[in-house]
Chain A
Amino acid sequence: MQEYIVRRILFALLVMWAVATLVFLMMRAIPGDPVRAFVGFEGDPAVVEQVRRNLGLDRPLPVQYLRWLAALGRGDLGNSIWNRQPVTTLLREALPRTLSLALLSFLVAVSLALPAGIVSAVRRYSLADHTLTVAAFLGLAMPDFWVGIVLIIVFSVFLQVLPAFGYEPLSSGLWPWLSHLILPAVATGTSFAAILARMTRSALLEVLREDYVRTARAKGLEERAVILRHALRNALIPVITVMGIALALLLAGAVIAENVFAIRGVGRLLIEAILNRDYPIVQGTILVIAAIFVCMNLVVDLLYAVINPRIRYV
């Protein structure tokens, strides 16, 4: 197991280096000159070239690449071309926002999806099942940004109970933090909830047909114990895989809610940077997102082993 973990970590580092290199090259391959765009309609060609020199973007590509890698080794992700701030600072500000939002969206999704999925599976083809199915399709059909805008109009403009935009760090108090995140988390979480609920339902239905479930019922176990202790545990394996992917996707997928609710998270930072061709931000942000994905994968794989003792990697 230990050797397995070490191997996984080394492989993860390799993946991250590959991602970093790929992003470095891709950003430079797409058209659009960041310096020219930054100078915009301000300076003449001489100014553009001066700014390029000052940023070290006039050097040959291999030199730029090696410099960037060397800085990376020192934990320095460089400075933004546009706003001149260190990328590490920008990420330090953006990450807590995105993590808060992703976690809360995830909680919203799971707390809606699991009960709904279980009820649907246990009471298949009942009124409850049909209602939940329709709700799930609705949840999937409504685009996040539209849900967000509607939520703002209902809860901020008409009821005036929740703020329409912005973010407050946890340090300003639990309620300020939470109240700013409820609407974006619901807007982002509902579509994931729909997917997770459908997954839970089908996985559980499959497991409920298994022999050991019949055996458990034959032993006279309460139905609750059968479902929660025996069936659900096995049914959750594919669901947890999806949850892991969902949580990682939420980190990047929260960008829509971040935009609607004016929360400056990682997603927004990245999209802006790509549009502006702000190389250092794009490189640093994708690297961090890749690291999170890789860690997620690792955690999910280890969770399998915890949930199902039969799963062991050799």
Chain B
Amino acid sequence: MVKERDQLLEDLRWAADFDPEDPKLGLQWEDLCSDRISRRHFLRLAIATGALHYLAPLLRPTPAYAQAGAPGGELKAAWGVREFTNLDPAFINQVVQFQITSNVLGGLTHIDAGLVPRPDLAESWEVSADGLTWTFRLRRGVKWHNGDSFTADDVIYTFNRTRDPRAGSLHRSILDPFEKAERLDPFTVRFTLKEPRASLLVKITERSSGRALTIVNRRALEQMGREYTRRPVGTGPFRIAEHRLGERIVLEKFPDYYISDRPKLDRVTIFNIEEPATLASALQSGQVDFLTGNVAIPETIFDRVKAMRDVVISEADDPGFQAIFFNLRKDKQQKIGKATLPTDDLRVRLAMARGMDRDDLIRRALFGRAIPAFGPIPRAQKLYFRDLTASSPQRFDPDQARRLLAEAGYGRGFAIRMVVTPITRRRGEIIADIYKRTLGITIELEVVDFPVQVQRFDQGQFELLQIGSGGDPDPDDSIDDWFWSGAKFNSFGYSNSQVDALNAAQRETVDQAKRVRWVQAAVDLIARDAPCVFLFHGTDSVAFRKNVRGFVHIPALRDLDTVTVR
């Protein structure tokens, strides 16, 4: 009863937190057009239409900081990362890097807060009925930061550069389904595919995470060489005035940006501060007004930041998942010197999935800022996500878990090793503690540096390994990259022909409703086969002073073009 009341209050608070000036009230058309409407959306409409008018002032958590103030001025921001290693899309290998380039470069499309693709450098597009031909009409009159005019040639150049092995783009295989790219006229581009791709607009042409086709400038690349990766020239709202690697980036308003009243700010200075305590102090001392971690605010300082006066925290679902992977490979003998592991038995894997008290893990390892995961699809992927807390084959049920373990002949538990990195070590210790207490399983941690972990995962040299995925706006990032037999990261030996078939179908369909069904069916199968124990989906968070306004929080991104500072 109490829980129900709290949930209703929480929903009401959420519903009341919107910008009254926004014609859509902060909702997506998809939310309103679907056949079911969530309680939260219903409440928001009720508040907006005045039905719950008298409640709104009581519920509004902050004086609508989403409303932008006057333009101009400088925002000082701090990011909790060592350096923005590469800003040339071809070499971007971390979410934080495309958080920056999303403010500097352009793509054909750009996702909104609901992860739905919207026009960016393309004004409109058409896809043929068979899903093999995509025609993009490009925006006219777009200028590059170096004064060049943006045309179809830039799109073709970027396409060819990504595909050229000598250019060394990390995202070359993303374009494997493409047959060719053609310039039909200066403002029309046609892509011909070998097989359809449902994720094209979100995963490939997207300006931030879709790095294979984030448009780059040929002249600047040829002039600048390696320097382009420090200070890329783009078509975005801000241009990079200065970048001292590992220290600061200074972004300047690009006056010729195609949206005439953006960006609002004249300048943004972003500092790299890796040490969380210093990061918090920078905000507290007023040296910066905007703070984010390596994606989310570091857990260790979250409460300190939350307690600061005049500081607002914006939270969104982090599009990713974390899991403990089992080694299901056939060549274990030569890889780890053991031909078999207790976890080869499905009952043992399911027992571990069902014996994982995710709430406890989230409370202790993430200070409560995450939601339990029962599959790879994060809640941020609204269209595809389902709450599986009660129905998943991996749902928490310690009695059932112990029964399964006893059936498999491990009633007294067993010992197994898990690979973690110094950064995930603490989480690993908590996982080990939970398994020790609920199932009597002893997990010995192997702490290795990240490069070693990637190598061990890749080559199947592990018994258990804790790893996950981030910056996943599309189901392809969650399933196609991980869980079918030929998946890019499937080095753990999982293979299920039904999953393969469902994945191939969802990957290629142009029918949204069917895609949702197939994705969800695949998730159920994966959870049942338990190639891994799904742990949690993180919470993406940003903190800023109340004088910072108009920030639109796209999960995992930090677009600053709408932000103002007083």
Contacts and interface: CB of A to CB of B under 8 A. Distances in A.
Contact of A54 (B168, B281, B450, B454): B168
B170 A47 contact: yes
B223 to A, nearest CB: 16
Contacts of A156: 281, 285, 287
Nearest to B166: A54
Given A32-B451, A42-B170, A262 B272 contact: yes
A31 B459 CA distance: 13
B93 interface: yes
B452 interface: yes
Interface stretch (B132-140, B244-252, B260-268, B437-445): B244-252
Interface in B205-232: 226, 229-230
Given A37-B455, A47-B170, A93 B91 contact: no
A262 B277 contact: no
Interface string B485-523: 000110000000000000000000000000000000000
A31 B452 contact: yes
A51 B273 contact: no
A157 B165 contact: no
B510 to A, nearest CB: 25
A36 B454 contact: yes
Contact of B451 (A37, A46, A153, A268): A37
A110 interface: no
Contact of A166 (B247, B274, B451): B247
Interface stretch (B79-87, B151-159, B326-334, B407-415): B79-87
Contact of B454 (A40, A79, A84, A260): A40
A276 B171 CA distance: 20
B170 A152 contact: no
Given A83-B245, A93-B245, A264-B246, A164 B278 contact: yes
Nearest to A79: B226
Given A39-B93, A46-B173, A51 B248 contact: no
Interface in A230-276: 259-264, 268-269, 272, 275-276
A269 B245 CA distance: 10
Nearest to B277: A149
A117 B78 CA distance: 42
Interface string A44-78: 10110011001000000000000000000000000
A16 B172 CA distance: 41
Interface in B147-186: 165-166, 168-173
Interface residues of A, number: 49
B243 to A, nearest CB: 10
A156, A165, A260, A263, most chain B CB atoms within 10 A: A165
Contacts of A262: 247, 271-275, 278
Contact of A264 (B166, B230, B247, B275): B247
Contacts of B86: 82-84
Given A31-B452, A42-B93, A166-B248, A83 B284 contact: no
Contacts of A143: none
Interface in B436-473: 448-452, 454-455, 458, 469
B170 A39 contact: yes
A272 B78 CA distance: 19
B94 interface: yes
A160 B281 CA distance: 11
Contact of B83 (A51, A79, A83): A83
Contact of A261 (B172, B278, B285, B287): B278
A47 B173 contact: yes
B432 interface: no
A57 to B, nearest CB: 12
B95 to A, nearest CB: 11
Contacts of A163: 287
A167 interface: yes
A85 B247 CA distance: 15
A43 interface: yes
B450 A275 contact: yes
A82 B85 contact: yes
B23 interface: no
Contacts of B282: 164-165
B281 A157 contact: yes
B454 A152 contact: no
Interface residues of B, number: 50
Contacts of A36: 451, 454-455, 458
A32 B449 contact: yes
B173 A43 contact: yes
Contacts of A280: none
Contacts of B337: none
Given A82-B85, A261-B278, A262-B278, A40 B455 contact: no
A201 interface: no
B451 A85 contact: no
Contacts of B488: 43-44
A79 B168 CA distance: 15
Contact of B171 (A42, A54, A259, A269): A42
A85 B278 contact: no
A33 B275 contact: no
Contact of A84 (B78, B91, B165, B286): B91
A93 B247 CA distance: 10
A38 interface: yes
A277 interface: yes
B62 to A, nearest CB: 23
A165 B173 CA distance: 41
B170 A51 contact: yes
Contact of A259 (B94, B169, B275, B451): B275
Contact of B170 (A37, A43, A93): A43
B247 A167 contact: yes
Interface string B84-107: 011010010110000000000000
A156 B280 CA distance: 11
Contacts of A93: 244-245
A34 interface: yes
B564 to A, nearest CB: 24
9 contacts: A33-B454, A36-B458, A44-B488, A47-B173, A152-B281, A164-B287, A165-B278, A165-B282, A264-B272
Across the A-B interface, give the 8 residue pairs with the lowest CB-CB distance, nearest first: A37-B451, A32-B451, A264-B246, A262-B273, A32-B452, A42-B170, A156-B285, A54-B168
Given A31-B455, A157-B281, A165-B287, 9 more contacts: A32-B452, A34-B451, A149-B277, A149-B281, A153-B281, A156-B281, A156-B287, A157-B284, A272-B83
Interface of B: 78, 82-83, 85-86, 88, 91, 93-94, 165-166, 168-173, 226, 229-230, 244-248, 271-275, 277-278, 281-282, 284-287, 448-452, 454-455, 458, 469, 481, 488-489
Interface of A: 31-34, 36-44, 46-47, 50-51, 54, 79, 82-86, 90, 93, 149, 152-153, 156-157, 160, 163-167, 259-264, 268-269, 272, 275-277
